[in-house]
Chain A
């Protein structure tokens, strides 16, 4: 049973299109995240939701819009895709206030987005 699952695994699309990536976790965690990993393997946080409430919104173009219908799901919608959006996007989850108890994050296996 996959703890954090993302779909699709691969996404190839043309510039200007709109696409969505879905994420679901079955760990009972209250907090979910989106990270972007660039070609140099650097992982940068984009968004975080806690119990459906947006708590972290990094400097991300507003073409990116996260949506959390419930605490087990966090989707990422991207409008007007650009070449520079090509990257691997990771969803992750953790218990609330993971930093207080030093919990780690559980990551999905990633979605490789290629914009052509």
Chain B
């Protein structure tokens, strides 16, 4: 059982459409992070959400942390081909060692 489940797994949309990616867990996280990974590269941090109910905006990307701090969402408005990539949520888990655990990933393709 994965600690962080993302949906959908794959998403192919046309340029200009809106989309939402979900990250769900049965565990409470002190914070959640979102990364984007492009082909041949490592994940790059987009944002960290810390407080339950928090909403952060990064240009056309809106990130929300659930009130109970068990889930998060990423909404992209008017998607562009440059948004194409693998989106990963991640949370610190594990007591003293607090390793960063990644979600199952959402592969987004935005067609021009």
Contact = CB atoms under 8 A, between A and B. Distances in A.
A55 interface: yes
A45 B100 contact: yes
Interface of A: 4, 33, 35, 40-45, 48, 55-56, 90, 92, 94, 97-99, 102, 104-110
B86 A41 contact: yes
Given A42-B104, A99-B92, A102-B48, A92 B42 contact: yes
B48 A99 contact: no
B44 A107 contact: yes
B42 A48 contact: no
Nearest to B34: A104
Contacts, number: 63
Contacts of A102: 30-31, 33, 48, 50
Interface in B31-86: 31, 33, 35, 37, 40-45, 48, 50, 86
A44 B112 CA distance: 33
A25 to B, nearest CB: 12
A109 B98 contact: no
Interface bracket on B: 20 to 34
Contacts of A106: 45
A111 B105 CA distance: 19
- Choose among A43, A94, A102 the residue with the greatest number of B CB atoms under 10 Å from its CB: A43
A90 B102 CA distance: 13
Contacts of A55: 97
Contact of A43 (B30, B50, B102): B102
Given A90-B42, A105-B45, 18 more contacts: A40-B105, A42-B102, A42-B104, A42-B105, A43-B88, A43-B105, A56-B99, A92-B42, A98-B98, A99-B92, A99-B98, A99-B100, A102-B31, A102-B50, A104-B45, A104-B48, A109-B41, A110-B42
B23 interface: no
Contacts of B102: 35, 42-44
A107 B43 contact: yes
